[in-house]
Amino acid sequence: MTNNIKQIAKAAEVEERQSALLSNAAAIQALASAVEGTLGPKGLDCMLVDRLGDVTITNDGSAILDKIDINHPAARMLVRAAKAQEEEVGDGTTTATILASALIAQAANHIGKGVPVTKVIEGIGLGTREAASFIEEQSVGIQDLTDPMLRRAALISGRGNEDIADLVVKAAQMVGIEKLLDPGFRLSGAIVAEEGAANEVFNGLIIDKEPMNKQMPRDLRDVRVMIVDDALEPEKMEDEAMRSESGFARYAQHQDEFAESLRRIPELGVRFVAVAKGIHDTAEEALTEAGVMAVRRVSSRDIARLAEHTGARPIKRSGLKKDTDELAKFVGSCLRVYQDERLEHVRIVGGTGKPAATILVGASTREVRDERERIAQDAAAAAQAAVRGGVVAGGGAVEIGAARNVQRLRENVKGMAAYGVDCVEEALKRPLAQIVANAGFNPLEKVEDVISAQSEHGNLCLAVDCDDGAVSDMMKAGVVDPTAVKLHALKAAAEIADAVLRINTIIRKRSDADTGNTNDAP
């Protein structure tokens, strides 16, 4: 009787574990299904509609995952991993999602047949490390910023938009290789998309603000620049303090000091002032009379970029009390500051600090603008990633080569961990399979054709031309992807698979609201 109870309990435990795994695998698969149709040159768009009927049409996997309505906890884990991929290398979220889904689906199949979870996880670790090592070996470095592969990487990631690829390469050349290699710099941050604008790249910045009033100058040359990382207004005093004679005297002193600070600004030759917070009416009037252009409530990001480009050092309100010689050390300069009245922004051009390329992408409507901005950001991220880590053959070629390498590893893996290696091999075939499926070809047939061709010709760059279905050399065709994108997608997929497979059961937590004061709980 006791043995029967133990067997029943054991069976229930196994069933609960299987139920949790199948639930999580189904959620991951559903999420992958939402983005897999966008992969490759023939991928289609996805329409996202919010509760108010606002429509977003996009081919960008990251944008879809960011906006999709998700409730399942495992799916949310995948979305967070995809966002990490986007933040790290700026592209490859769809690939990471498809790889993760394939890994988990294959693993669930083996686990359902009795393979221990820990062995599957062990094998996935072995397989992904082997695949990552292979991809790194295939990487081809970008020689310099005139290397044609740089433009090809931008073009492929930019979904074939020639104009955007040209803008990105020009901007990369403008900022220089040293800046592109800086870990804190993101070329994708230089993208500005505007309705009705013409495509343009220039050495400078766009601040999405306008001068405070129409009496301020609209176009300045050889400009000295001041940045106030504070409010440009007198120090405030409490109403209580104003009721005493000494308090009123302090108030008058603050007003005089503020007026003196304002006089120093034009004395230094400053003609453009960017302020992080508000500007007092008195300051606005004084700056207008002095022929100074001022913009207010400038974002911290724009403050930092403006400081770097013009060489100006941000100063606090209290710092304006310094004498003129000291204040001069905080002033930067640029060739031109002017307002684009049609596009309603201010441009700062030719700063004497570090180069700052701005990529202005034109569009006809808001929806087109948003999508072209996403495309340009992907292209810029891909170009920068290519400079940092080189490129590999795209179109699913490098994954097929990695899958063949993992298959050879499998022959030397003993025990049930080999099933986990099998999961990696099958998952690596999924990007090519999805690319050709989206192009209208039979994925099973084309994947086998590529495997056979790579083996026969010893060429690891072979994949499928999505125009005619023929097997061709992706490197020669200029179909390349940044190495970092492939490596990070593989890593993210393996980490998500590991996390999902380790989940033994799903339990709904009780909220604090259900339990009252949790501090009194035993």
Distance CA 97, CA 106 (A): 14
Q: What are phi and psi of 254, to 5 degrees?
A: -60, -40
Q: Nearest to residue 205, comparing CAs of 269, 284, 274?
A: 274
* Amino acid at site 100: A
Give me the tens of pLDDT residue by residue for the chain, a chain 522 residues long.
555 544 444 444 455 566 777 888 888 888 888 888 888 888 887 887 777 777 777 777 777 877 777 778 888 888 887 777 777 777 778 888 999 999 999 999 998 888 999 999 999 999 999 999 999 999 999 989 999 999 999 999 998 999 999 999 999 999 999 999 988 889 998 999 988 889 999 999 999 999 999 999 999 999 999 999 999 988 765 555 555 556 556 656 667 778 888 888 999 999 999 999 999 998 999 999 999 999 999 999 999 999 999 999 999 988 888 888 899 999 999 999 999 989 899 999 999 998 889 999 998 888 788 889 999 999 999 999 999 999 999 999 999 999 999 999 988 888 999 999 999 999 999 999 999 999 999 999 999 999 999 999 999 999 999 999 999 999 999 999 999 999 999 999 999 999 888 876 555 556 555 555 545 443
Helix (H, G, I), strand (E, B) or coil at 462: strand
Q: What is this structure's pTM? A: 0.82
What CATH number is given for 203-363 in this structure? 3.50.7.10
Please give the radius of gyration of the chain, using alpha carbons only, rounded to the nearest integer.
29
pLDDT tens for 31-86 read 888 888 888 888 887 887 777 777 777 777 777 877 777 778 888 888 887 777 77
Please name the residue that has the structure tokens 């189904």: 26
The domain ranges of the chain are: 2-140+392-501, 203-363
pLDDT recorded at residue 63: 77
> String of b and e for 410-421 (b: at least 16 CB within 10 Å)?
beebeebbbbbb
Q: Which two tokens stand for residue 462?
A: 């072979």
What CATH number is given for 2-140+392-501 in this structure? 1.10.560.10
Q: Nearest to residue 70, comparing CAs of 59, 57, 83?
A: 83
